[in-house]
Amino acid sequence: MACETILIIDDDKDIVDFIKAYLSNDGYKVLTACDGTQGNEILDANEVDLMILDIMMPGIDGIEVCRRIRQQHVVPIILLSAKSTEMDKLIGLSTGADDYIVKPFSPLELTARVKAQIRRYKYLNNQSTSSEPDTINIQGLTIDEQARKVALYGKPIELTKTEYDILLLLAKHPNRVFTSEEIFESVWKEKYFQSNNTVMVHISRLREKIEENPRKAEIIKNVWGVGYKIER
């Protein structure tokens, strides 16, 4: 059972009670606040592992609350909102939030997102104090160059030689976009021919192994019409 502390900031008591019931049932300690001011006071007085923050609140809205909290605290923040457009999500995430959930939502989805964010933060915090020179860390993924081993949140991932070589190529050049031709010629050491979908197939298999959700890749990203990259 979980033992982490979660702070919910929302002026809707029914929503708070609903979320609290599910999270408490999963073993989390749940603290609640009805506005940003009270939430900040609770955050200053307690060790909180994650925050769930509603955007639409009277007085100081959730966007401003998120911005202020992010200036003082390093804690995962999940925003809740009835607004579902891409622009709304972009604004919310640009203030420093880690995730954005649209109302109405499934309690199972919420608890899954909570677990994912807590796991991610704990793992990255551990890695920041224990990284070694030959180790590359990207969003929970660890690549040990010397041993040619890969792990996701500490769990070993079995990759073929080709999959590993593609991953290492992208990871060693963060933010650089590689075309399929560049990847093929670098990894296979052969001339690339048009309509060759070998790289696409291998990246698809690689994503199945290293991405939490291969359909919404967070590690190996598509740059439409150009190629692939890994951001760090």
Third-level CATH fold of 5-128? Rossmann fold (3.40.50)
Whether residue 174 is preceded by a cis peptide bond, meaning omega within 30 degrees of 0, is no
DSSP state of 159: -
Tell me the two tokens of residue 13: 């008591």
DSSP letter at 214 equals: G
pLDDT in tens, 82-139: 887 878 888 888 787 888 998 888 889 899 889 888 887 776 666 555 545 578 888 8
The 10s digit of each residue's pLDDT in 67-77 is 888 877 878 89
Distant-in-sequence, close-in-space partners of 107: CB < 8 Å, separation ≥ 6: 18, 19, 22
Span(s) in the chain for CATH 1.10.10.10: 135-230
- Specify the fold of 135-230: Arc Repressor Mutant, subunit A (1.10.10)
pTM of the model: 0.58
Report pLDDT for 127.
57
Mean pLDDT for 174-194 is 85
pLDDT reported for residue 133: 54
Mean pLDDT value across residues 168-184: 91
Closest residue by Cα to residue 42 from 16, 14, 15, 73: 73
